[in-house]
Structure 1
């Protein structure tokens, strides 16, 4: 069986540390492979959604809502046209997810989605190395091979 894994480095907004209200993690429309990995949502329906059952790091069952906010396609004054995964706040709080952690979601064909939080490995940097040591932080999704 083929296993696919996708990851996203979490932002402060994703984990709720900015105090703002966000409607879940954004799934860009440009990420065709990720969208094909998640349940199909019919754009002909206004704001279609599907529940994603996931097994977490310790075997617990989590349910997230995958939704396509698409009122721009259905309402004359609609503004939203974006995919999001919502209902993640409780999970992020319980696992103490922080900005810079990576959220991973994977699945083998015919099985339940699996999720986990991957923490960055702390490296010690001497003052002499600081100028050469750079970390590029991205906020988008990526496929893990």
Structure 2
């Protein structure tokens, strides 16, 4: 028969008989690019659009990163503007987010601001964003 003290005793015995092995952990080197982008990314602008549909909102963000691979002669092209679109829908079942990130839509702040305003004004969804941006940039 088992008593209440028996499990505690076996646990203590097991802990005493355990061998502990310590493995020396070798730190992984991070690539300079990965560390550079995460440190330099910044949100430049954000637009929140409320739609006619209750529970649906769209957020448009302009993300600026720096491309250090360019030479000093191309210094004016170093800032890379990207777009992040977040669609948030709340219904009886909860909240659903749909997002898309499109890298390098412009290298000029004014052009990036105009593009962001067009996307927000047209209430472009994440599902259609790539096609719409391609169409706008080809014009």
Common fold: TM-score over 0.5: no
Higher relative contact order (CA 8 A, sep 6+): 1
Structure with more of its chain in helix, by fraction: 2
TM-score bucket of the superposed structures, by smaller chain = under 0.3
* Structure number with bigger Rg: 2
